[in-house]
Chain A
Amino acid sequence: MMQKLPTWADVVLVPLISLLLAAFVSALVLLAIGQSPSEALKVMVEGALVSPYGWGYTLYYATSFIFTGLAVTIAYHAGLFNIGAEGQAQLGGLGVALVCLALPWPHWTLALPAAMVGAALFGAAWAAIPAYLQAKRGSHIVITTIMFNYIASALLIYILVEVLRPDGQMDPASARFPAGTKLPTLHEIPGLSLIFTKQVPANVTLFIALAACVVIWAILWRTRLGYEIRAFGKSEAAARYAGISPVKVTMIAMLISGALAGLMAINNVMGESERLLQNASEGAGFIGIAVALMGRNHPLGVLLAALLFGFLYQGGAELGLWTSIPIELRTVVQGLVILFTGALDQMVRMMLGVVFRTRRPQAA
């Protein structure tokens, strides 16, 4: 029997303990392959959090994860499990590339809004088909979005190789974007450049991501649309009773979700690589799932979880650079975090339930 936990325990304690469990198992894995967990942690912390350089990367990754985390979050509130953020982010990258390459942009302030529209449109379009199939034909969105991830990657390979690759270039990538599309990095922003004294990949997209957190929060809890999305996500039957159109909510929620996932491309494609590469999203769509889960599907939580995963990602990269621990440790840790926060959370709750049950009589 499930013991009901106090809300604070559910919101704070459960993710925290899940995280600790994931860390514990990761440490066991490290010990098993003959590495020192404390050494690994030290490298990760130093590489990701101690220097402005580390923060530059941690924030860069976090920016991407905020977008995909929010994408998963808004779909989740509509009762839809969007596993397709990865494919949507890839298509978003295509949108960014097409916009950036279309014109000799004079200044980034002009290119950025246009690229955002491109990213959001392409991401949303890629979410639209699974959404439509779910809304109209009841095709399970989890499976269709998985399929669409693969279709996206095949499509992108085709476009990069056959269409966007400039003559004479060997790697499957688009041409470099014109100089006028270069987004200022934190190093180039007055004020912040005092902290970030060297070139870092984190760029103005970070502020767009923060704004997106606020916007998504406002949509979900302050607008009729958000109200309808949440109601529909809790009970489709009741939503129908209240005159909320399942098709409309499913479509809109997924379109927003896809647009958010697509917007991630502003960060990595426009802000960092400045050209479209194959598999540019690098699994950030999947990490979005973990970020949303950890963040309890709340924009503030997503922000914090994105920072955590940004740390994991950057710290993991540093492990790959400076230790003999393969970078794949990062994937293992991510998997464990998802496992413990998303699938074994009930186990944590049960454990806590026992604690709270034994504690209560003493307190009374």
Chain B
Amino acid sequence: DPAIIFDLGGKFDKSFNEAAFNGATKWAQETGGTFKELEMQSEAQREQALRRLAESGANPVVMTGFAFGDVLNSVAPDFPDTKFAIIDVDWLDQPNILQIAFSEHEGSYLVGMMAGLASKTNTVGFVGGMDVPLIRKFGCGYAQGVKAVKPDATVILNMTGTTPAAWNDPVKGAEIAKAQKSQGADVIYAAAGGTGVGVLQAAADEGILSIGVDSNQNYLFPGKVLTSMLKRVDNAVYEAFKAGADLETGKVKVMNLASDGVGYALDEHNAALVTPEMKATVDAAAEKIKSGELVVHDYMSDDTCPAATF
């Protein structure tokens, strides 16, 4: 059986981990198979969880989140016959690990354009989770997108914290959203796992728009969520499960706009918010990115951002 380990936010974080969970469930429904799953409760459990699953014969073992990187690196050699897949990591070098990296900057660029187009105050916000390069990558892509449609717009960037607790602090998310609104923001993009729910909630309460992340979060507050930056973790997990023991490992798999790894969500919940012109503008940019005509700067490539300072 395949197995999946969710990071600290838990599989019902409505966001990153939930996307992974959905992918796993989809596989289970389609194949009728079963999978083992596990939610992390603390940093220190990672190794035990990983070893235990590998030992139980689960194959492949998928884990969500860069925080597993270091632990996986030391565990994988002990289980040469087990295949591992890890999301959001691209710096490991082991024959039995598949690393899956997403081009979040591209997706974020698109929703940034949406935000810029939807904003009436010319000010938009970004609420990140834990302050790490990965999240800055979201923020940076977003800021580039905003500036692409409104070069003089203000982008307020805030991070929730510096520890994994930042993924799961809706109170803080809500308060930051309120603060950003008082600074003039009328669209806020939350890339903060469970914390984002607080951002979306506060935005809905305050009567401004929000942008969800990872999963399609439009349904959470219909008519209040402008769109969601889709990171198809579900697809990644689904495919890894489907490949089973034949999973190709020892490489980095990049999931970008071109390969449908990222994107933005349009459904009945936000149809009224997205005008045809907006959609057209954004889709045009998407095509350019896919074709390579437009390159969105990746913060993690050089730790700098042309459109924002962190």
Chain A residues in contact with chain B, CB under 8 A?
A: 53, 57, 157, 161, 168-173, 176, 198-199, 201, 268, 272-275, 277-280, 282, 317, 320-321, 327
B49 touches A273 (CB 8 A): no
CB interface residues, B 33-88, toward A, < 8 Å: 36, 38-39, 41-45, 47-49, 51-53, 55, 66-67, 69-70, 74, 78
Would you mind naming 13 contact pairs between A and B with Cβ atoms under 8 Å apart? Answer: A53-B55, A161-B162, A169-B70, A170-B134, A171-B164, A176-B74, A272-B47, A273-B47, A274-B74, A278-B43, A317-B48, A321-B49, A327-B39
Residue total for B at the interface (Cβ-Cβ under 8 A): 29
Among A171, A176, A275, A277, residue most surrounded by chain B Cβ atoms (within 10 Å): A171
Instruction: Report the Cα distance A157→B53, complex, angstroms.
Output: 29
Instruction: Report the Cα distance A277→B66, complex, angstroms.
Output: 14
> Beyond A57-B48, A279-B44, A282-B44, is A170–B132 a contact (Cβ under 8 Å)?
yes
Instruction: Report the Cα distance A172→B69, complex, angstroms.
Output: 13
Find chain B residues with CB under 8 A from A282 CB. Answer: 42, 44-45
Find chain A residues with CB under 8 A from B53 CB. Answer: 321
Binding site secondary structure of chain A: loop
Find chain A residues with CB under 8 A from B39 CB. Answer: 320, 327
B133 within 8 Å of A (CB atoms):
yes
Minimal beta-carbon separation of B21 from chain A (angstroms):
14
Instruction: Report the Cα distance A303→B96, complex, angstroms.
Output: 41
Instruction: Report the Cα distance A173→B48, complex, angstroms.
Output: 17
Instruction: Report the Cα distance A272→B47, complex, angstroms.
Output: 9
Q: Which 7 A-B pairs have the closest CB atoms?
A: A170-B132, A161-B162, A277-B43, A171-B67, A282-B44, A170-B66, A172-B163
Instruction: Report the Cα distance A350→B66, complex, angstroms.
Output: 54
Instruction: Report the Cα distance A278→B161, complex, angstroms.
Output: 13
Find chain B residues with CB under 8 A from A320 CB. Answer: 38-39, 41
Find chain B residues with CB under 8 A from A157 CB. Answer: 162-163
Find chain A residues with CB under 8 A from B41 CB. Answer: 320, 327
Q: With contacts A273-B47, A327-B41 known, what are 20 further pairs, Cβ within 8 A?
A: A157-B162, A161-B163, A168-B91, A169-B70, A170-B132, A171-B43, A171-B67, A173-B43, A173-B70, A268-B44, A272-B47, A273-B44, A274-B74, A277-B44, A279-B42, A279-B44, A282-B45, A320-B38, A321-B49, A327-B39
Find chain A residues with CB under 8 A from B48 CB. Answer: 57, 201, 317
B67 touches A170 (CB 8 A): yes
Instruction: Report the Cα distance A265→B45, complex, angstroms.
Output: 15
Among B43, B49, B51, B67, residue most surrounded by chain A Cβ atoms (within 10 Å): B43
Find chain B residues with CB under 8 A from A277 CB. Answer: 43-44
A-B pair count, CB < 8 Å, reads 67
Among B38, B47, B70, B133, residue most surrounded by chain A Cβ atoms (within 10 Å): B70
Find chain A residues with CB under 8 A from B130 CB. Answer: 170
Instruction: Report the Cα distance A217→B162, complex, angstroms.
Output: 42
B133 touches A280 (CB 8 A): no
> Beyond A198-B55, A279-B42, A321-B38, is A172–B66 a contact (Cβ under 8 Å)?
no
A279 touches B52 (CB 8 A): no
Find chain B residues with CB under 8 A from A170 CB. Answer: 66-67, 69, 130, 132-134
Please, which residue of chain A has its CB at the minimum distance from the CB of B89? A170
Find chain A residues with CB under 8 A from B36 CB. Answer: 321
Instruction: Report the Cα distance A268→B44, complex, angstroms.
Output: 8
A317 touches B70 (CB 8 A): no
CB interface residues, B 275-293, toward A, < 8 Å: none
CB interface residues, B 114-144, toward A, < 8 Å: 130, 132-134
Find chain B residues with CB under 8 A from A172 CB. Answer: 162-164
Minimal beta-carbon separation of A22 from chain B (angstroms):
21
CB interface residues, B 1-55, toward A, < 8 Å: 36, 38-39, 41-45, 47-49, 51-53, 55
A176 touches B49 (CB 8 A): no
B43 touches A279 (CB 8 A): yes
Find chain A residues with CB under 8 A from B70 CB. Answer: 169, 171, 173, 176, 275
Find chain A residues with CB under 8 A from B162 CB. Answer: 157, 161, 172
Find chain A residues with CB under 8 A from B52 CB. Answer: 321
CB interface residues, B 248-287, toward A, < 8 Å: none
Find chain B residues with CB under 8 A from A268 CB. Answer: 44
Find chain B residues with CB under 8 A from A57 CB. Answer: 48
Instruction: Report the Cα distance A273→B42, complex, angstroms.
Output: 13
Instruction: Report the Cα distance A173→B163, complex, angstroms.
Output: 10
Please, which residue of chain B has its CB at the minimum distance from the CB of A200? B51
Contact of A199 among B44, B66, B78 (CB under 8 A): B78
Find chain A residues with CB under 8 A from B51 CB. Answer: 199
Minimal beta-carbon separation of B287 from chain A (angstroms):
32
Find chain A residues with CB under 8 A from B67 CB. Answer: 170-171
Find chain B residues with CB under 8 A from A176 CB. Answer: 70, 74
Minimal beta-carbon separation of B111 from chain A (angstroms):
22
Find chain B residues with CB under 8 A from A161 CB. Answer: 162-163
Please, which residue of chain B has its CB at the minimum distance from the CB of A172? B163
A278 touches B164 (CB 8 A): yes
Instruction: Report the Cα distance A320→B37, complex, angstroms.
Output: 10
Minimal beta-carbon separation of A157 from chain B (angstroms):
5
Instruction: Report the Cα distance A279→B40, complex, angstroms.
Output: 14
Instruction: Report the Cα distance A41→B280, complex, angstroms.
Output: 60
Instruction: Report the Cα distance A199→B38, complex, angstroms.
Output: 21
Minimal beta-carbon separation of B26 from chain A (angstroms):
20
Instruction: Report the Cα distance A164→B134, complex, angstroms.
Output: 19
